[in-house]
A and B are shown apart, each in its own frame.
Chain A
Amino acid sequence: MWASRAVYLFILPGFLWYVVFHYLPILGNVIAFKDYSIFVGIRDSPWVGLDNFRRIFDDPAFATALKNTLIIEGLQLVFAFPAPLALALLLNSLMNEKVKRAIQSVVYLPHFLSWVIVIAIWQQLFGGEGFLNQILLNRGYEPVSIMNNPDIFKPLVVAQTIWKEAGWGTIIFLAALTKIDVQLYEAAAMDGAGGWRRLVNITLPGIRPVIVLLLILRLGSMLTVGFEQYFLQRGAVGPEAAEVLDTFVYFRGVVNGDWSFAAAVGLVRAVFGAVMIFASNWLAKKFFDEGIF
Chain B
Amino acid sequence: MSMAETTNPRPDATMLTGEVAGPSRLKSSERPPWMEKPPFWVTALKTVTLAIIVLMMVVPFLHIFAVSFSSYKDVLGGGLILFPSNPTLAAYEAIFNGGIVVRALQVSVGLTLFGTLAQMIFTTTMAWGLSRPGVPGSRAILFVVLGALLIAPGIIPSYLLIKELGLLNTYQALILPGLISSFNLVIVRQFFMNLPQELIDSARIDGASEWHIFWNIALPLSKAVLAVVALFYAVSIWNSFFNAILYLQDSSKWPIQLVLRQYVLQGSDLATAADTSSNTPLPPARTIQMAIVVVATVPILIVYPFLQKYFTRGVLTGAIKG
Chain A residues close to B by CB (< 8 Å) = 1, 4, 6-15, 17-18, 20-29, 31, 38, 42, 87, 90, 93-98, 101, 103-110, 112-117, 119-121, 123-125, 129, 131, 134-135, 137-138, 163, 167, 171-172, 174-176, 178-183, 185-186, 189-190, 194-195, 220, 227-228, 231-232, 235, 246, 249-250, 253-254, 259, 262-263, 266-267, 270, 274, 277, 291-293
Main secondary structure of the interface of A (DSSP, over half): helix
Known: A138-B79, A185-B34. 14 other contacts (CB 8 A): A10-B126, A10-B210, A17-B122, A24-B161, A42-B160, A97-B28, A103-B53, A103-B54, A106-B57, A124-B60, A172-B316, A174-B313, A186-B32, A235-B266
Which chain B positions have C-beta within 8 A of A23?
144, 148, 153
Closest CB in chain B relative to A271 CB, distance in Å: 10
User: Closest chain A residue to B82 by CB distance?
Assistant: A131
Which chain A positions have C-beta within 8 A of B161?
20-21, 24-25, 28
Which chain B positions have C-beta within 8 A of A13?
122, 125-126
19 contacts between A and B (CB under 8 A): A4-B135, A7-B132, A11-B138, A14-B123, A18-B144, A21-B177, A95-B29, A95-B31, A97-B28, A104-B312, A107-B53, A109-B301, A114-B241, A115-B241, A117-B239, A123-B265, A194-B36, A253-B159, A254-B159
Q: Which residue of the partner chain, among A10, A26, A107, A176, contacts B57 with CB atoms under 8 Å?
A: A107
Total number of B residues with any Cβ neighbor in A under 8 Å: 106
Bound-complex Cα distance A68 to B35 (A): 46
Closest 10 CB pairs between A and B? A14-B126, A28-B157, A10-B129, A97-B28, A11-B129, A25-B153, A114-B239, A6-B210, A134-B78, A25-B157
Scan residues 244-297 of chain B and give those whose CB is less than 8 A from a CB of chain A.
245-246, 257, 260-261, 264-266, 286, 289-290, 293, 296-297
Q: Tell me if A90 and B313 are in contact (CB < 8 A).
A: no
Closest CB in chain B relative to A161 CB, distance in Å: 14
Bound-complex Cα distance A9 to B130 (A): 11
Q: Which residue of the partner chain, among A29, A95, A124, A174, contacts B67 with CB atoms under 8 Å?
A: A124
User: Closest chain B residue to A121 by CB distance?
Assistant: B60
Main secondary structure of the interface of B (DSSP, over half): helix
